Amino acid sequence: MTDETKKTRNFDFPICPYCGSTERLAGTTLAKQIEKGVMPKESTAYLFTHQSIIAKDMKWLSAPVIISFYDVCEKCGATWCIHAEIHTAVQGMDTKPKYGKN
C-alpha cells in the first residue's frame, strides 16, 4: 500500500524501565517453548494488550490508533509496555446507538 497514512510505526521497549532487566514472564515462557520446538521462532508473547483511538469524538474519518502490548518483569514484578504500534483507522462514522430515532 502506497498511502503513507496507512503506514504502521513500531516501537520496542525491551528493557524494564524500573530495574533494567530484559526477562519477562510471557517472553521467557515463550522462549522455553521455542527451545522445545513447539512454537515457531518468529512467535511473540505478551500478557495483555490495549488499543486507543486518538480522536476528539466518534465522528472521525481517519484517526491514529495506538496498540500497546504489556508484560511483567521477572525480576521486580513491574508491568511495562514492551511494544507499541501506531496504525491509522479509517471510517469512524457516528457509532452512537440510534435506537428509537428515525
- Given a contact cutoff of 8 angstroms between Cβ atoms, the answer to whether 26 and 48 are in contact is no
Chain centre distance of CA 50: 6
Out of 26, 45, 72, 73, the residue judged to bind Zn ion by CB under 5 A: 73
Of 9-68, binders to Zn ion (CB under 5 A) are 16, 18-19, 21
C-alpha torsion sign, points 38, 42, 43, 45: positive
- Given a contact cutoff of 8 angstroms between Cβ atoms, the answer to whether 8 and 86 are in contact is yes
Q: How many residues bind Zn ion (CB under 5 A)?
A: 8
| Smaller CB separation from Zn ion, 55 or 74 | 74
| Smaller CB separation from Zn ion, 17 or 54 | 17
- Residues at the interface with Zn ion (CB under 5 A): 16, 18-19, 21, 73, 75-76, 78
